[in-house]
Structure 1
């Protein structure tokens, strides 16, 4: 049977890639190079990079020899192709057509540029940071940070004022992770600025990270390190028992050990209190759900109501216990929180289409909704997770409760669901927490592996 159109395209693209690779190898091995042949191969390579077929793009990148000279030769071609693709409107319509906004081949191009430690590589990626496509900007942040392009730190810090930062939790998380990966004093100071602009789950995560930062992370600069600790609301580590300036002045003006004038308070919210430490005190008081602390400010409860939830354990149906735990968690939410509820059997149903403020009225309404829940039919876990990730761009955490293996939906194989959801969550960076009710060991492993990559927690309930 002759090859179909798709096969032909792949074959032609692969043939062109192979010829480019061979020509590039010969060109680099021969001095002086044949200018005309080089121009033809560059043009052919560039056409593959900016073409419509992502598989051809991937094959072209894989054809580049691994030696540094060859990679350096390809660098300006790839940077130029990225600039062309950034202006290509077809990627703006990708999601409407069911295609990824950031194809794998374009992601490989961005990653390739990041592996080259040259100013032009740094600049090429910096020019992607203001891209309107959030996934492209996030990919540029990721590769700049992973490869520690320290010259781009100021550009990353500048993104704190961007619309993406304001509109997307996933973007804020990616930027925070990127500055941390830079592991540079300038980046730590940038993180202090970011820390002052976030709350909920991300603020909690950063608070934990900051506990482990030492003077060594500031190149031994004790003064700069102490100033940074003040910015993030950590107490100063004073090695010297010397009194500060106000105490010294007061001692000079005192007679017979008694102060002749009152010691003034330091300027600020309270004596010795930074804005960051004040903000820390004002952050959410966590509620709990199956023993998991809720630090997120914007969260979604996802509840399995399949037929197996009717199973009676200890004189009570599983769904009844699940409802009681959920109502307790909702009533314990800080009023600053925003929350939502998804329930699923073979279909997924939302209590509200958007996250709502945790007011007393909304808590009462949510409680009534939960009280009337009953067990349904099969288990469409994949649809519930997909809808969770797309529920709100500001969503910080998901709490998934289920008692069995997926039995309905587009994907039912747990391993396939895991790979798909983890890949999609690379954009959203949602913390996925999972609660397993009397599941088999294979399902427990699936739920544990679903939560761990996002630093979520797994609980098993019998």
Structure 2
């Protein structure tokens, strides 16, 4: 996205020359890559400071610093640790990820030992988090006690990173240290600890997961349910049924799946049926093995919980409790907290190629935008009153229909439907005549690009850089439908690998399910990966 800085290019050449010289005894005296790094980082940091509030210049400086940090990957020296940690004082996520990449690439003991020393005395939170993330990524072997000390940090980000590093360490006593974090005051630390213990199949998670079924934060409940699906116990069955009796929305299929893994039965989200079955069975019940449960479920027909492919199906029990599923482009979800995201960039004005696939849809035209608007309007019409929803349209800019989720009341659905049907593709082919005579502004070409990253981050509730809105992972929305036809062409990130990485990082705590729908001729691998990495389903509407 940015042009490489000439000093950066020179630095890369210097590091490469050092590597080559190392294989020749008669080579000229080697340059010190760490000393070179310090020299050029000093220059780049001045560029960063000079950029001030100029976002484009600041981003360019960040990219240059990140790439310079990455040039030290493979230099297996404790000096590297001391050289690159000062870059974390800039507190830029892109730089931090580069630092973690380098710190997690060591093969010898001295730099790893230096990391341990740093963590014992360091007070700067981003530096501690980066060191812990390196331990997690590399699975470095060290004393679990050294990592466990950071579980008492004042920073919840540090405490959470410590849990993750301990879980990755392979330390036999790691679960005994991690279990304390299940009582942490910060929800993200609690559910990360439960996730770690569940992955280790540690029964230490059971009392905390059972208690967390009633947690007010839905992300905590999600981890608790998942933990009880993975670490089964008779004492979890009754609490799971009690939660199913009151839970509504996206987590109901997860509860059903947890119960099915305990009892080998399929009653959907019919809490009364689960209760009746368990009340008749519970006295003296001995938990079946996982293999016995699998064999029993094979003969029970379609699964009614969270299917293996992620598709959610409602059960057919108690009408008062049954979750009414929302269906959009053949993706069905029981969620009652949804955001729909629709692409209105210039290419959405193009006609679909495979018209036979859309001929029965009774659309105003075969333009991509008309097909997608019509389907979204129809979905909105079908929303149940207990659903809360919002809509985002995006091209270069992201425009929400409302500031927050709203109830699917008749008035709100009508207003949303009208807003959707008034959407137009920005800067499409119909504006070519204006563009040819130089009126690119009137043609909307600048505004008609595809800001995929910006739209996704807005849907996840991540505020724009510099926004006064406080970032929080405890968002209300739990499901996003993202529809687009084009390759990303503008925004903070346009490379699809970068977007995948950043969205996964932003959604790690939010736990939002992200479904993707593609239309047009854009390569589908990106949209498919976006859904798969974020718990969603990918649908290809065709060209």
Asked if 1:106 is matched to 2:162, the reply is yes
Q: 1:343 to 1:58 in 2, by over 3 A?
A: closer
- In structure 1, C-alpha distance between the alignment counterparts of 2:163 and 2:279, rounded to whole Å: 46
> What value does the CA root-mean-square deviation take over the aligned residues?
3.9
Asked if 1:388 is matched to 2:463, the reply is no
Q: 1:239 to 1:154 in 2, by over 3 A?
A: closer
Note the 1:52-451 alignment, pairs <5 A.
53-54=127-128, 55-57=130-132, 66=141, 74-83=143-152, 85=153, 87-88=154-155, 101=157, 106-112=162-168, 115-118=170-173, 121-161=174-214, 165-167=215-217, 169-214=218-263, 233=274, 236=277, 282-313=321-352, 314=355, 315-376=365-426, 377-390=448-461, 393-440=475-522, 442=523, 444-451=524-531
- Give the SS at the match of 2:209: helix
Q: 1:179, 1:188 within 8 Å by CA — same for their partners in 2?
A: no
- In structure 2, C-alpha distance between the alignment counterparts of 1:453 and 1:317, rounded to whole Å: 30
Deviation at 1:371, TM superposition (A): 1.7
Q: 2:233, 2:262 within 8 Å by CA — same for their partners in 1?
A: no
Deviation at 1:416, TM superposition (A): 1.8
C-alpha distance after superposition, 1:268-291 (max 9, x if no partner)? xxxxxxxx9965653232232112
Bigger shift: 172-181 or 301-310? 172-181
Q: 1:339, 1:357 within 8 Å by CA — same for their partners in 2?
A: yes
Unaligned stretches of 5+ in structure 2?
1-34, 42-68, 70-78, 86-102, 282-314, 356-364, 427-447, 463-473
Q: 1:180, 1:188 within 8 Å by CA — same for their partners in 2?
A: no
Bigger shift: 367-376 or 301-310? 367-376
Q: 1:422 to 1:134 in 2, by over 3 A?
A: same
- Give the SS at the match of 1:390: coil
Deviation at 1:122, TM superposition (A): 4.2
Q: 2:125, 2:158 within 8 Å by CA — same for their partners in 1?
A: no
Bigger shift: 322-331 or 185-194? 185-194
Q: 1:144 to 1:390 in 2, by over 3 A?
A: same
- Give the SS at the match of 1:342: strand
C-alpha distance after superposition, 1:344-386 (max 9, x if no partner)? 0011111001100111011011111112111110111111111
Q: 1:235 to 1:450 in 2, by over 3 A?
A: farther
C-alpha distance after superposition, 1:99-123 (max 9, x if no partner)? xx4598535434257x4444xx545
Aligned residue-pair number: 371
Q: Which has the higher contact order (CA 8 A, sep 6+)?
A: 1
Q: 1:425 to 1:136 in 2, by over 3 A?
A: same
Deviation at 1:62, TM superposition (A): 8.8
Structure of higher CA gyration radius: 1
Q: 1:19 to 1:460 in 2, by over 3 A?
A: closer
Q: 1:20, 1:45 within 8 Å by CA — same for their partners in 2?
A: no
Q: 2:480, 2:513 within 8 Å by CA — same for their partners in 1?
A: yes
- Give the SS at the match of 2:539: strand
- In structure 2, C-alpha distance between the alignment counterparts of 1:428 and 1:80, rounded to whole Å: 27
Deviation at 1:61, TM superposition (A): 7.7
Deviation at 1:131, TM superposition (A): 2.6
Relative to the length of structure 2, the TM-score reads 0.59
Note the 1:33-48 alignment, pairs <5 A.
46-47=120-121
Deviation at 1:9, TM superposition (A): 7.4
Q: 1:347 to 1:147 in 2, by over 3 A?
A: same
- In structure 2, C-alpha distance between the alignment counterparts of 1:355 and 1:306, rounded to whole Å: 24
Q: 1:398 to 1:64 in 2, by over 3 A?
A: closer
Deviation at 1:335, TM superposition (A): 0.6
Unaligned stretches of 5+ in structure 1?
24-40, 92-100, 218-224, 241-275
- In structure 2, C-alpha distance between the alignment counterparts of 1:368 and 1:328, rounded to whole Å: 11
- In structure 2, C-alpha distance between the alignment counterparts of 1:447 and 1:42, rounded to whole Å: 40
